[in-house]
Amino acid sequence: MKTAKIPATDNEYLIGKILCIGRNYVDHIKELGNETPAAPVVFLKPATAVVDDGGTVVIPPYSTACHYEAELAVLIGTDGKDIPEAEALSHVAGYGVAIDMTLRDVQDSLKKKGLPWEIAKGFDTSCPLSVFTPAAQVPDPQDLTIRLLLNGAERQNGSTGLMINPVARIISYLSTIFTLEEGDVILTGTPAGVGRVQPGDGMVAEITGVGRMSVTVE
């Protein structure tokens, strides 16, 4: 079982659905040559994809182009369906740091065939995830800086203020499709600067005021 933890509290959540938003930053859309979507792009990862801080990302043998995508993660603490945007943040238990590991070559092949992305996005170890900071300690989830360092060199540095769909809107939208439950985790998209990792690499992802995590690659 994979759990989401909020340190210095008694709160520990069994991770349920991991709901992910793609193409939520304009510059990232441009760097991959994609079209700006009319509605949020949604895909899922299983809980078995989660890797804790200090863990290892294992690149599957069916890919030669594994990419990092640092993101703000949102932990749902209160169940809800059809949540109004104005009430959405009240359902958040905490915020964390995630890296959406993506098999870009596999994803591109699937996209060309019009097929789902799950084997490119949901493989084991594809979701490094930090512990969570209580929501009350994050005054504005749209005023945070996401950074990713690869082998000590900064590769991503972007503000959550650049999201096309902010956190409250994402939660509200997802709740019209899925009942959001305690322990669900939402990944909110990545800023520009994504790139490839190889065995032996080390990644550090951090969000000011939220957290920091590091993982290695093999």
Segment 169-193, tens digit of pLDDT: 999 999 999 999 999 999 999 998 9
89-100 mean pLDDT = 98
| pLDDT for the residue 134 | 97
Q: Where are the alpha helices (DSSP H) in the chain?
A: 26-31, 104-113, 118-121, 167-175
**In the numeric block, which tokens belong to residue 196?**
């490839």
Amino acid at 192: A
The set of residues, in sequence order, having a beta carbon less than 8 Å from that of 33 and lying 6+ positions away, is none
More confident residue, 29 or 211: 211
- Lay out the sheet containing 56-57: strands in order across: 56-57, 211-217, 202-207, 145-150, 153-159
Residue spans of the domains in the chain: they are 3-217
The β-bridge partners of 158 are 146
For 161-168, what is the mean pLDDT? 95
Let me know if domain 3-217 sits in CATH 1.10.3720.10. Answer: no
At 27 the pLDDT is 67
